[in-house]
Amino acid sequence: MSDESQMLPRLIAHGYEVHMLVPEDDEVMEPMPGMFVHTFSNVLRVPSWLPAPIQRLWLLPAFWTVGASAAVRLARRIQPRLVLGFSHYGAWPAWRAARATGAASILKLFGVMHAMRLEWPLPRYLYHSLEGVLAFKVPLDHFILLNDGTRGNEVAQRWGVGPERITWLPNGIDLQWAHEPLQGAERRRLHGVGSDDVVVLSLSRLV
pLDDT in tens, 138-184: 999 999 998 888 888 889 999 999 999 999 888 777 777 778 887 88
Nearest alpha carbon to residue 60 among 7, 133, 151: 133
Q: What are phi and psi of 122, to 5 degrees?
A: -55, -45
- Per-residue pLDDT of 75-123, as tens digits, reads 999 999 999 999 999 999 999 999 999 999 999 998 888 888 889 999 9
- Would you say residue 202 has pLDDT above 90? no
Please report the pLDDT score of residue 84 as a whole number: 96
* Beta strand ranges found along the chain (DSSP E): 18-23, 35-40, 82-86, 104-109, 142-147, 166-170
Q: Is 56 exposed, middle or buried (0-12, 13-18, 19+ CB in 10 A)?
A: middle
